[in-house]
């Protein structure tokens, strides 16, 4: 299940490919208005006159997990993913191997 999050404007835009967007669009030429679910940076032409459309409103679609605030969880995941990548790059291969071995031992302990 997905929640619509109205946080884009408040944050100055979250540009991350993980989240699809519920987008309200209007044609730049004719009277057409519509709503679609889009990935970031997809250009949508007006279905009536094929002119470019502009975004009227944009909302993030974030997964709902029981017991967690969906927007907070989504933002946290963005930060956590970046932190994990940064840590993996800063460690030496030998140190990553030590950590992986320790983790495997911990999983199989008992």
Instruction: List contacts with Zn ion (CB under 5 A).
Output: 27, 29-30, 32, 46, 48-49, 51
Nearer to Zn ion by Cβ, of 44 and 73: the residue is: 44
- State the nearest-atom distance from the C-beta of 30 to Zn ion, in Å: 3
63: exposed, middle or buried (C-beta count within 10 Å: 0-12, 13-18, 19+)? Answer: middle
Nearer to Zn ion, 45 or 98 (CB): 45
> Minimum CB separation from Zn ion for residue 47, in Å?
8
Is-contact 11 72, C-beta < 8 A? no
Shortest distance, CB of residue 36 to Zn ion, whole angstroms? 14
**Residue 44: left (phi > 0), alpha (psi -120 to 50), or beta?**
beta
């Amino acid at each position: 299940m997905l929640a619509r999050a109205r946080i884009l404007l408040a944050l100055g835009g979250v540009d991350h490919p993980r989240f699809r967007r519920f987008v309200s669009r209007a044609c730049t030429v004719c009277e057409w208005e519509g709503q679609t679910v889009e990935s970031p940076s997809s250009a949508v032409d007006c279905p009536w006159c094929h002119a470019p459309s502009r975004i009227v409103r944009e909302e993030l679609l974030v997964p709902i997990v029981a017991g967690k605030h969906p927007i907070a969880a989504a933002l946290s995941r963005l930060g956590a993913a970046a932190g994990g990548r940064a840590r993996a790059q800063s460690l030496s291969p030998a140190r990553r191997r030590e950590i992986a071995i320790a983790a495997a031992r911990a999983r199989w302990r008992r």
